Amino acid sequence: MGSTSRARRRGEGAFGAVVGIALLVVACIAAFKIIPLHIKGNDVFDAMTEAANFGNLKPEDKLRWDIYKRAQEAQVPLLLNEIKITKNGSLIRISAKYEMTADVLGYKYQYAFDRFVEKPTF
């Protein structure tokens, strides 16, 4: 009687381990596809912040072009007319909207970026 109960207990954790490893693999694949979207989005946000820092020194068209060029280098589908720049007194506001898609195991992950930077000009 003792040997049969011991034999049953031996393999009980194997199913949980297989499910856990499968979930870990799926999470890693999803992270591998989604994290680059956020890295590219942060690169565009950095370009917007940098442009806002020089907002008083450069014309709006040059700022818009700098952001657009950096977005194209990062392979972000940001259109030039989607970059809005407004100077209001001592503030500069830069906003950009775009969407990126990642295919994760047959599911289309659509992430909408709506970035906004507001800084004082000196």
86-102 tens-digit pLDDT: 998 889 999 999 999 98
27-40 tens-digit pLDDT: 999 899 999 999 99
Which tokens in the block code for residue 80?
A: 């030039």
| Amino acid 74: pLDDT | 93
Widest pairwise Cα distance in the chain: 86
- The domain limits of the chain are 35-120
In the beta sheet, which residues pair with residue 100? Answer: 111
Which tokens in the block code for residue 37?
A: 């979207």
The DSSP-derived string for the chain is -HHHHHHHHHTHHHHHHHHHHHHHHHHHHHHHHHHHHHHHHHHHHHHHHHHHHTTTTS-HHHHHHHHHHHHHHTT----GGGEEEEEETTEEEEEEEEEEEEEETTEEEEEEEEEEEEEE--
| Amino acid 36: pLDDT | 92
Q: pTM for the complete prediction?
A: 0.78
**CB-based contacts of 1, cutoff 8 Å, min separation 6:** none
